[in-house]
A = this chain, B = another copy of it.
């Protein structure tokens, strides 16, 4: 198991937390890949670790660090190759989960329903036609999710709550794990948004979103577009 703590500003500490967690789970061969810059990411030693990995875990922190540091690098190309062609298992928590999907929300306070108050970019593109956001209920993030969906309803929003996750198989079969809720926000059947008519600073509205709240064991198939 390889732990990548790049999202964290304290990567040493973040890495060690997961070494201990995995040890408790009887996973003994745990390596921490402490990459904190684009240049470092290409070191031959790091590529070798990824080539041999059985699983990769991205820790929390800031998802923008993950895409800004890994985007377009040799190591990311290798991770994608191993994921798409060889079935490598990849996990992430908090920022590490948010960075998985093609749409990634990286900024947006509780007033994220104001046009321009939320920021999105492409994530690491390990999960397509979706956008993962975390601490979803606790931090009232449905509004920034809806702003993102308003810009392009192709992307199904997946909002994770604390102590809750999704296991995704074949890039589209989701199953909820953990003690809390997963919120699915589907804008594909929506009929209206004002986002292209309003100025920056005005509230974004949207009609006919389909929302599901799912718990442990519930499944959802992400329709690939």
Contacts and interface: CB of A to CB of B under 8 A. Distances in A.
Interface of A: 37-39, 62, 64-65, 67-69, 71-73, 76-77, 80, 102-104, 106-107, 116, 119-123, 125, 148, 150-155, 187-188, 190-193, 195-196, 200, 225
Contacts of A150: 68
Contacts of A192: 37-38
Contacts of A72: 152-155, 187-188, 225
A102 B122 contact: yes
Nearest to A195: B68
B153 A71 contact: yes
A64 B196 contact: yes
Contacts of A188: 71-73
Contact of A152 (B39, B123, B151, B154): B123
A14 to B, nearest CB: 15
Interface of A is mostly: mixed
A62 B194 CA distance: 13
A38 B225 contact: no
A121 B107 contact: no
Nearest to A118: B119
Contact of A122 (B116, B155, B193, B195): B155
